[in-house]
Amino acid sequence: MPRTVRIATRGSRLALWQARWVAAELARLGRGSELVIVETQGDRERLPFAQMGGQGFFTKAVQDAVLAEQADLAVHSFKDLPSAGVNGLTLAAVPVREDARELLLVRPEEYAPEEGLLPLKKGARVGTSAVRRRAQLEALRPDLQVAELRGNVPTRLEKLRRGEYGAILLAQAGVHRLELDLRGLHSRVLEPRLVVPAPAQGALALEARASDTELLELLSRLNDPLAQRSVAAERGLMARLAGGCQLALGASAQVVGEGGLELLAWYGGRLYQARAASPEAVAEAVFGQIQAEFPQGVGG
């Protein structure tokens, strides 16, 4: 009888949704599973991310559980993974990707459609935890008060409803997956040319031990080649910039033509764009543009 797959995951509502989705996909393939809940540094500490040491705030403890054979499979929000891999683990699959765009949620009294693509009143207080979002918002609208926002997706939404913020910026993927009630709020999905998402936003990463060949073969059946290629381009650029999830980098890749890729990136206050035949080539092309703009060096 095939062994039950132990799935390591954080305990947040979104992380559990993601892990249960993977469990359902494994069941479709005839394999049973069980969840192993792991507390991470990002779950324990309430500091702003910029003040927390190291990388992998939401992923390292989950990876450690798999390495220690307390679990067999780690399910991550791919955008949370640092660019450097972990010895002993391998990326087993990137399933079908959810919408990667950003979602702006606005309280009625702060909504100002006359302001255009960011329909916020002058001086509105906008909550976010990501340095990337902060940097792009401040570049687009210097009048806004961009404030630190921590907590899982439902908690962030509740803080908005309580009036702690006039608006918040979230990943559309998490709101859609959780089917959250947005009644009473104005919502606008922001196109990547306005606010470029995080590398791998909307994608899941399934990691397993590199030695677990039987499980790797099974998980390969959950891989989506289109998602894998677009994420490889985005994270390839992130790796070239030597960054983690707190690098102020936006990257959004689309498959174009006969399997080629177009990569749009935001870094250092401006947009970059290139097309190439492979994830590696398009990441290198955009990195070259950034290098030319910052001859004194890039990275973070």
Q: Catalytic annotation on 132?
A: yes
Domain boundaries, the chain: 5-94+203-223, 102-190, 224-295
5-94+203-223 and 102-190 share one CATH topology?
yes
**Active-site residue, from 10, 64, 72, 80:** 80
Mean pLDDT by groups of 10 residues along the chain of 300 residues? 93 96 98 94 59 65 96 96 92 97 98 95 96 95 95 95 97 96 97 97 98 98 97 96 75 91 96 97 97 75
Q: How far is CA 158 from the centre of its chain?
A: 21
Q: What Cα–Cα distance (Å) separates residue 205 from each residue in 84, 138, 174, 202, 208?
A: 14, 30, 15, 10, 10
Q: What is the pLDDT of residue 244?
A: 53
The tokens describing 7, both together, are 């799935």
pTM of the model: 0.91
Q: What is the pLDDT of residue 39?
A: 86
Q: What is the pLDDT of residue 46?
A: 60
Q: What is the pLDDT of residue 50?
A: 54
**Active-site residue, from 60, 79, 101, 235:** 79
**Active-site residue, from 132, 188, 209, 240:** 132
| Structural domain 102-190, CATH architecture | 3-Layer(aba) Sandwich (3.40)
**Would you tell me which CATH number, out of the four given (3.40.50.2300, 3.40.190.10, 3.90.1200.10, 3.40.50.300), belongs to the domain 5-94+203-223?**
3.40.190.10
What CATH class does 224-295 carry?
alpha beta
Per-residue model confidence as pLDDT tens digits over 202-254: 999 999 999 999 999 999 999 999 999 999 999 999 999 976 556 799 999 99
Q: What is the pLDDT of residue 300?
A: 47
Mean of per-residue pLDDT scores for the chain: 92
Residues 101-124 as b/e (b if ≥16 CB within 10 A, e otherwise) read bbbbbbbeebbeeeeeebbbbeeb
Using the structure block, give the residue that is written with the tokens 């999830």.
245
